Structure 1
Amino acid sequence: MPDVSLDKAGIISTVLEGILYGFSVFMYGVTLWVLFYRRSTKEVNRSMVVVACMLFIFSTMHIGVDIHRIIKGLVYNRNFAPGGPAAWFSNPSDFTFVFKSAIYSFQTVTGDGVVIYRCYMVWQNFYIIIFPLIMLCSVVTAAVGSVWACSQANPSQGGIFFKLTGQWITAFYASTLSTNLICTILLAFRIWQINSRVHRKTPGNTSLMPVLMIVIDAGVLYSVTLLSALLCFVNHTNGQYVVLDMVMPIISIVFYMVIIRVGIAKVTPSSRGGESSGMGHAAAISHSQAQSRGEYAMRPLEVHITQLTESQKDRHLHDPDGSITKPEYDSV
């Protein structure tokens, strides 16, 4: 099957990115509504607001550059010799391509940083995120190297698929994919572990499985997109331009999705029973007295997906077998 030409790839990628961008803008608005009006604490989580705004700004800048490239390549440079628009789009050293690559790098580093931050807040252990932080450093290094390599690339030498450029871009894709997978596994394992401990103490009262599914859904969506881009790139197909432009709004969508799915499903405690339920945003458990020797009574438990932390003082309340008997969580 013949590869798609670069000018066609540019049109297709911009259209698909525009569709996903429109969806992400809607989700951005809903995310701000959730953070400001459906929060579980008195204070607004400013860090998450800042991240949401940064992702929105990066996505907006990226699609703006892509639209400018389409106009510049198909209108202003349609008589570009030799080769026409396809030849112009094949030049990765053009300022517009280098600039959009830099924006994509910022977006990726921000998204990976948020995943690592959430991983730390769940585990409350710095040692857990040492390796993800090392991986994040490799992401930053590969991002800088790939942007630099693009600025030095020559279309006559293969463009973006030139050996030097290809090595940096492959390293960038591989490092950010690995970082996302590692953090998703750590998050999923920790939530599953806490859910198992809670169920051993209060079987049937609550479940963190919805939280687990939200984390897995977000990780899988992002990982599949990155893997598609990586496979397209290593096979030297122009389809990677299409997937690459789709990754930008998907990074934002994944971040917004985690917050929105919890905020929309949130149900506050009712006056009738004092219980709360929802798709992983809030769950309440009460246990009035110890069930057996060595166990402690449990007080209400709240779980919020955007940050899941075990309070430090509760770490000392363990059974002889190491089970947590009094977990408590805060919201991000």
Structure 2
Amino acid sequence: MFIVGVITFILATLHISINCVRMMRGYVDHSSLVGGPVGYLGILPQWDNVFKNTIYTAQSIVGDSVAVYRCWVLWNRSFFVVSIPLLMVLGSAVSAVMAFVVSVKAPPGTTMSESSLDVWIKIFYVLAVAQNIITTTLMGWRIAAADNQVATYRLGRGNLIPVLRILVESAALYLTAQIILLVLYLCDKNAQFIALEAITPIIQGITFNAMTIRITLRSQSQSSAHTVEIATDAHRPTIGSMPLRHISVTVTQTKHTDYDTESQSAREIK
């Protein structure tokens, strides 16, 4: 996870850097040329545009691969369970490569909707959304089922439901951004570019790192609480290394008294 975090951080940094370069070149260097900034930013085979889209697809594929890996671990490393999401990630990679080839070979002045690039972009977005829905559902189902199985044997609150909440919150944010991007792209709205540029920091900063940090902090908090509890219970007698707990025991006693009725009556008359 540390290596993946470093990779996503580098990709996110490159993505925002190339966006700054494109903004400066479009609104400063090409502001007085034919077409202006919009004309420059819309050139498909421009090297910075191709590089930016390549970084975005790489970041998205890395994030989707991590989701498949986590799902694979939770399901006892069963490739059968993650076979469909894994095929979807491979399909996203293929569509990304094809989009890269088409954008490089596109003639000047060609827009995304006028070339075969449009088809590959739609395939990439649809596969990404479907894959995240499947992996999030599988992970949530697995954690909820495990928590339900141990519910009758544990004392106090479980530790799995908070982890499930963190997982679902992070995945839902990423999935929502992807759905918004897909809808805006299908509707051909310019707001799609806002959602597109927001996907990369969401993957790196929220979906991956924030989820890892939240789970780590929760684990450390539980470890500290467990240490304090052990120190508090140190004075209690133990069997081996297991501390004994105080339990309440209620004992009910029933007393029966038998006596001779005739002897008792004679003593009372006398």
**In structure 2, the residue corresponding to 1:200 is in which secondary structure?**
coil
Of residues 57, 77, 84 in structure 1, which corresponds to 2:30?
Answer: 77
Q: Distance in 1 between the 2:184 and 2:165 partners?
A: 28
Please, which runs of 5 or more residues in structure 2 have no aligned partner? 233-241, 245-270
In the aligned structure 2, how far is the partner of 1:207 from the partner of 1:231?
37
Determine the structure 2 residue equivalent to 1:161.
113
Match of 2:227, SS? coil
Write the distance in 2 (CA, Å) between the matches of 1:152 and 1:235. 25
Distance apart, 1:271 and its partner CA: 4.2
Corresponding residue of 1:149: 102
- Runs of 4 or more, structure 1, over 6 Å off, are none
Q: CA separation in 1, counterparts of 2:108 and 2:184? A: 19
Structure 2 CA distance for aligned equivalents of residues 115 and 274 of structure 1: 39
SS at match of 1:91: coil
TM-score normalised per structure 2? 0.80
Whether the 8 Å contact between 1:119 and 1:129 is mirrored in structure 2 is yes
| Residues 1:195 and 2:152 aligned together | no
For 1:213, which of 165, 170, 188 is the aligned residue? 165
Equivalent residue for 1:240? 192
- Residue 144 (structure 1) shift: 0.9
Superposition deviation, residue 153 in structure 1: 3.0
Per-residue deviation at 1:149? Answer: 2.2
Higher relative helix content: 2
2: CA distance, partners of 1:274 / 1:161: 67
Give the counterpart of 1:61 among 14, 21, 42.
14
Question: What's the CA shift for 1:103?
Answer: 0.7
Q: Do the aligned partners of residues 203 and 270 (structure 1) sit closer, same or farther apart at CA in structure 2, a change above 3 Å counting?
A: closer
CA deviation after TM superposition for structure 1 residue 147, in Å: 1.9
* Amino acid across the alignment from 2:69: Y
Partner of residue 106, structure 1: 58
Deviations 1:45-66 (A, max 9, x none): xxx1110100000011111111
The size of the alignment, in residue pairs, is 229
* Residue of 52, 77, 82 corresponding to 1:129: 82
**Map 1:221-260 → 2, pairs under 5 A:** 221-253=173-205, 254-260=207-213
* Percent identity for Structure 1 against Structure 2: 28
Question: How far apart in 1 are the matches of 2:108 and 2:183?
Answer: 21
- Which deviations, in whole Å up to 9, do the C-alpha atoms of 1:207-243 show, x marking residues without a partner? 4111111111111100110111111111111211111
In the alignment, which residue of structure 1 is the partner of 2:214? Answer: 261
Give how far 1:123 is off.
Answer: 0.6
The alignment's C-alpha RMSD in Å is 2.0
Aligned-partner SS, 1:126: coil
Name the CA shift for 1:199/1:55 in 2 (closer, same or farther; >3 Å): same
Instruction: Tell me what 2:263 maps to.
Output: none
Once the 2 structures are TM-superposed, how far is the Cα of residue 162 of structure 1 from its aligned partner? 2.1
Deviation at 1:154, TM superposition (A): 4.1
What is the distance in 2 between the residues matched to 1:128 and 1:70? 44
